[in-house]
Structure 1
Amino acid sequence: MNEYQLVKAMLLHVSRGLSEEAPLAKALKDWCLDNLVWLDLGIRKREAKNWGNLQEVLQGWRLPEAPAPYVMEIADTLAELLGLDTENSTLLALLIGCDRLPKLQSLSEAVTAKGVDLPVLLAELCGVSAHESLRFVRRSPVFRLGLIGFQVCRSGAVAVDIKWTLERLLDRAPSQGDEFVDALIGPRHQTSLSLKDFAEVPDVSFLASLITGAVREGAKGVNILVYGPPGTGKTELARVLGAEAELRLHAVGEVDDDGEEPTRYDRVSALLLAQRVLKDKKEAVLLFDEMEDFIGDAQPSPGDFMMRRDGSKVFINRMLENNPVPVIWTTNAVGNMDDAILRRMSYVLKMDYPTRKARRRIAETICKDEQVAFSKDIAALVESAEETTTILRNAARASKLAGQDGNVEQAATALVKTLRGGVLPNNNAQGIDLDLYNTEPSLSAVLDGIASCGHSDVSLLLSGPRGPARRRSPITLLTAWTSRC
């Protein structure tokens, strides 16, 4: 479908039955006169000024040969991906054309300025009766998926409003196939890590098997929530889980290449769109980073309800219950999350900073990926500061750009120092003789047991007479404990 076909359809529809005295007839005639060369009607300007003559010529207008604009090719590909019927496919093409094709855009502006209802007009051009037109538009997947809307201009006329997801697609003009799907849904994430790098994370193999089984069986409502402090590797774990399940991992509703920031509505719409596109393919899993955007600003109240909730609770609940493609959600905390959401999760995983052993392994992998040396200074920083692995990749890239591949610790130290409020951890470990402490059982046995149990959420209560020894004990225990883990 090209622009000439769309313009002819609109001209014939709105001019039907108009008398020459009608304001709309005058607007159409003026538009045709302004675009007479482009229209190529085969008549002169003075002949086109006669309304009856112009109507007759438009009825028999033989359209010039013209290729389909790229935005119409995108409309056709998108309609096929979404499984749209003929009426909704035509509506999608008309809406995109009214925004991106200059002649159709100016014609739609001319007719709406004379009181024509644009949503009704476009629905009628799709073959829908005037009585059903508004209902058709409201229920169309084109609108329900957040691709397009309408906006009221200052003049009071209604215009097409291309939403964030579709705007990105039209601006990028991707080729068909995987590139088109990636541009529509969200970037495809890759990783150089594996499950070995998350060996300390409980049940990580179970999660990979869960995702594999969910896709294989086409199960609905599979949601995995991963939460923990920033920098603990939540997003990287999601990438590893997707790779382990041999599935594509798409991050939905993220900032685009031009830095355009999506709203909550944009992100939720992007998730719905991704679910529709991928629901029958059994080849992908979705990542929704920062789940706070999904639940909005909801907060627990002093009573038994959530305050400041954005959107419908029922909508969110049903979405979690019926999503055909598994979703991995990440967030920093679950304190502002309704229990109704948590109950609809297939699994909830809390992530803490990795152990020293895991940090070293991850840091070595990062340095290998970035082709920089894993120096003694970096090893010492990884040993003493748990945040090091979260900033090491950026530090390595900064060092390479500065031409100092062997001096990664300079950038890494600056970043860690900033994260720690300007104070670096003390790297000067001191020997501790735990036999000097009179305890029952012995401190050495207690700490060895803690180090070997595989858990980090352990608390110790120190009791005894007042004195310097007891005040120093927490520091002594922390140092000894760290040396064993």
Structure 2
Amino acid sequence: PRSRPSAHWWEKVRSIAHDLVPSAGGGEAETVQRNAALFGDHFGLSRVETSALAFVALYKLFDGFEHVVDGALETGEVTVPLLLSWFCAAPEHEIRAAMRASGRLTNSGLVQRNHGRLRSRMPFDLSDRLTLALLAEVDSIVDLIALMFPRAAAPEAEWRDFEALGRDADLMRDLLSHALAKRRPGMHILLYGPPGTGKTEFAKVLAREVGAELRAVGETDDEGGEPSRQERLAELTMASRMLGQRSDTVLLFDEMEDLFAAGNFFLSRPTPSKVHFNRILETNPIPVIWTTNSVKACDPAFLRRISYSVLMRPPSGRVRARIWRRLEERHGVGIPDAALPEMAERHDQAPALVSDAMEVARLCNGGEAVVSQVLDAAARLAKGGADSAPRHYSEVPWQQGLARADADLGRIETRLAARDASRRVSFCLEGPAGTGKSAWARHLARVIGMPVIEKRASDLISKWVGESEQNIAQAFSDARADGAMLIFDEADSLLADRRGAERSWEVSQVNEMLTWMESHPLPFVCTTNFVEKLDPATQRRFTFRIRFDFLSIDQLPLAWAAHFSCSPPAGLSALTGLTPGDFANVARKVQALGDSDPEEILRALICEDAAKTGTARPIGFGR
């Protein structure tokens, strides 16, 4: 009958519940209630609030208990507050006060409003991480805290590995140190930038630098469960309340753009939940380091509450090489010291991934090849199965006697190598492909003792609006941080004449290049096969404009001797359109075919020459 349950009915429900809970959970039910009491003591909950926490946990954990509660609710004769009133042995008005949205259970993050479990009749919920913690066999609240918010793993990097951050790093260290010492609430640091730039790693290093423990919030739990956005915020609230009295703890909230993802009305519009979130930011007693791959996805109201923010960029080649050397010493994979810089340049993954790859190689008794194989597989996975673009290396080695330039290259090298030489110089090297432009630029860097960062247009130009400009800025910033000479190959694609631009991004891309070229304090080189395509404004941006031309008649025998052991035939001097690159290309063909006949070699060189002049191609292996 649809009437208020009788005392007999309640006795029956009470008996079923008493029998079902122990049988469904065994000793686990007692563990839940004992751990709920630990949370209650820590958060200052009343007896009723602690019992209510245990009730929601039992409902979520044990099917038998859930069945009894749902069966009672299905009658339409009872409500959740009434059931809680029975379970907690307290009047309904005390239950309603304990479970209100502004109560301690909700404000502590322990209990959440149920928005996700559509088939559940229970309007309250717990995060999966809290639910699992309530089942744990522990001795104290300290153990529960360690389960809920584990310490972040030790960093693989060191403070000096983030030297490119300069004063930003120093300021964040001072800010965090003073916030901890003075217990200043509402202190938030945001690290943003693309994946692989070391945001999480720097957060670990920063916490270690100030002598604090870094504890992760809202991460995947031990069972592999992915917390919802609401659960992540609830865990942030819990962590703040549970650890708020400590002056040696910093929280890490990774990949926080998920909170503002498209369709997430929880934080994308003004609601009580959003107001509550903003209040958390303003009053949070523990400093929080937030990371995101996309700052554009973040709500402006959140960004206004950030104490300090830093754009994280990929580490320079020198820093990566240093990290690789340190990891090699730790794992002992057997990578030769001389190979580490090239490996670090080829694989730009985060230190933790490099460490994992070296561990795989060590377990498999592998070496350099296995490390590269593992990292290539990781890069392919990150790109959804696509291979990474190959690194660009010029095929033309530098040979001083084969250069035909309209400037005294030796004099330039000598002057720039001097101790008092200005480093604010720039070069436009133009001329046909294969004449040694990029090779001389790298040679010049070696002469003056600078590392090289080499970029081609395809490395920088992106289909996404604004990303090409970001890539250009990144290249100049990396060169500055690493003290490197920057070489732009195919510069005509980056500095095309704006008068012929058809799209606005083409103009903004050139503007970005020109701006950085104007202010860059270190040597940089632009090479091009089509100097006539460059924007006129580039004229005054280059200290030197040097043309590299085809080999002269006198240089042809020298080029022959550099690649072939036989004597050159007489017809060689008639070729006027050859470059050092042509000789290198034909030499590879000769090596592949094993044919060193001078006449056949000459035929191949004639083919190379004809490709430029448009004349008929002769018969031979050079076709």
Scaled by the length of structure 1, the TM-score of the pair is 0.71
- Cα distance change on mapping 1:315 and 1:149 into 2, 3 Å: closer
Contact 1:227/1:333 (8 A) holds in 2: yes
Q: Could you tell me which residue of structure 1 aligns to residue 309 of structure 2? A: 348
Contact 1:378/1:409 (8 A) holds in 2: no
The counterpart of 1:223, out of the listed 184, 188, 192, is 188
Deviation at 1:84, TM superposition (A): 1.8
Deviation at 1:246, TM superposition (A): 1.1
Give, in whole Å, the separation in 2 of the partners of 1:212 and 1:88.
36
The counterpart of 2:391, out of the listed 399, 408, 425, is 425
Deviation at 1:110, TM superposition (A): 5.4
1:107-142 Cα shifts (integer Å, max 9, x gaps) = 545544442212233246546543453243123332
Is 1:182 matched up with 2:146? yes
Deviation at 1:361, TM superposition (A): 1.1
1:411-441 Cα shifts (integer Å, max 9, x gaps) = 2344456758443213558549899587999
Is 217-226 or 108-117 further displaced after alignment?
Answer: 108-117
1:94-113 Cα shifts (integer Å, max 9, x gaps) = 33344457886665455444
Consecutive unaligned residues of structure 1, counting only runs of 5 or more, are: 1-20, 40-65, 300-306, 478-485
- Cα distance change on mapping 1:113 and 1:385 into 2, 3 Å: closer
Deviation at 1:362, TM superposition (A): 1.5
- Cα distance change on mapping 1:470 and 1:199 into 2, 3 Å: farther
Q: Could you tell me which residue of structure 2 aligns to residue 17 of structure 1? A: none
Give, in whole Å, the separation in 1 of the partners of 2:138 and 2:40.
15
Q: Could you tell me which residue of structure 1 aligns to residue 51 of structure 2? A: 90
Q: Could you tell me which residue of structure 1 aligns to residue 602 of structure 2? A: none
Give, in whole Å, the separation in 2 of the partners of 1:177 and 1:356.
45
Consecutive unaligned residues of structure 2, counting only runs of 5 or more, are: 22-26, 417-421, 427-447, 451-475, 485-511, 519-523, 543-623
Amino acid at match of 2:111: I
Amino acid at match of 1:297: A
Q: Equivalences for 1:105-184 in 2 at 5 Å?
A: 108-109=69-70, 111-114=72-75, 115-123=77-85, 126=88, 129-131=91-93, 133-138=95-100, 139-149=102-112, 158=122, 161-176=125-140, 178-184=142-148
Is 1:360 matched up with 2:317? no
Q: Could you tell me which residue of structure 1 aligns to residue 207 of structure 2? A: 242
Deviation at 1:221, TM superposition (A): 1.0
Deviation at 1:267, TM superposition (A): 0.8
Provide the identity percentage. Answer: 26
Deviation at 1:71, TM superposition (A): 1.3
Q: Could you tell me which residue of structure 2 aligns to residue 459 of structure 1? A: 516
- 1:189 aligns to what SS in structure 2? coil
Contact 2:317/2:482 (8 A) holds in 1: no
Amino acid at match of 1:208: R
Deviation at 1:75, TM superposition (A): 0.8
Is 1:207 matched up with 2:155? no
Q: Could you tell me which residue of structure 2 aligns to residue 468 of structure 1? A: 530
- 1:199 aligns to what SS in structure 2? helix
The counterpart of 1:71, out of the listed 32, 52, 56, is 32
- Cα distance change on mapping 1:174 and 1:378 into 2, 3 Å: farther
Give, in whole Å, the separation in 2 of the partners of 1:347 and 1:189.
24
- Cα distance change on mapping 1:471 and 1:251 into 2, 3 Å: farther
1:384-406 Cα shifts (integer Å, max 9, x gaps) = 45447574223223323434255
Give, in whole Å, the separation in 2 of the partners of 1:143 and 1:432.
74
1:246-303 Cα shifts (integer Å, max 9, x gaps) = 111011000112111111111111111111111111121000111202334389xxxx
Is 1:412 matched up with 2:474? no
Larger Rg: 2
Contact 1:189/1:250 (8 A) holds in 2: no
1:31-58 Cα shifts (integer Å, max 9, x gaps) = 578799999xxxxxxxxxxxxxxxxxxx
Q: Could you tell me which residue of structure 2 aligns to residue 16 of structure 1? A: none
Is 371-380 or 190-199 further displaced after alignment?
Answer: 371-380
- Cα distance change on mapping 1:103 and 1:435 into 2, 3 Å: same
- Cα distance change on mapping 1:417 and 1:169 into 2, 3 Å: closer
Give, in whole Å, the separation in 1 of the partners of 2:28 and 2:349.
56
Aligned length: 422
Give, in whole Å, the separation in 2 of the partners of 1:148 and 1:194.
39
Deviation at 1:168, TM superposition (A): 2.7
Give, in whole Å, the separation in 1 of the partners of 2:18 and 2:202.
60
Contact 2:192/2:291 (8 A) holds in 1: yes
Amino acid at match of 1:426: H
Is 1:270 matched up with 2:227? no
Q: Could you tell me which residue of structure 2 aligns to residue 195 of structure 1? A: 159
- Cα distance change on mapping 1:37 and 1:444 into 2, 3 Å: closer
Amino acid at match of 2:39: L
Q: Could you tell me which residue of structure 2 aligns to residue 399 of structure 1? A: 361
- Cα distance change on mapping 1:266 and 1:385 into 2, 3 Å: same
- 1:261 aligns to what SS in structure 2? coil
Q: Could you tell me which residue of structure 1 aligns to residue 595 of structure 2? A: none
1:182-210 Cα shifts (integer Å, max 9, x gaps) = 22234533224321222222221321221
Deviation at 1:369, TM superposition (A): 3.6
Is 1:233 matched up with 2:206? no
Amino acid at match of 2:279: R
Q: Could you tell me which residue of structure 1 aligns to residue 296 of structure 2? A: 335
Contact 2:320/2:348 (8 A) holds in 1: yes
Contact 2:321/2:340 (8 A) holds in 1: no
- 1:354 aligns to what SS in structure 2? coil
Give, in whole Å, the separation in 1 of the partners of 2:226 and 2:94.
36
Give, in whole Å, the separation in 1 of the partners of 2:423 and 2:28.
81
Higher RCO structure (Cα 8 Å, ≥6 apart):
1
Give, in whole Å, the separation in 1 of the partners of 2:282 and 2:18.
56
Give, in whole Å, the separation in 2 of the partners of 1:292 and 1:204.
23
Deviation at 1:219, TM superposition (A): 0.1
Root mean square deviation, CA, Å:
4.5
Is 1:379 matched up with 2:379? no
Contact 1:28/1:111 (8 A) holds in 2: no
Give, in whole Å, the separation in 1 of the partners of 2:244 and 2:40.
15
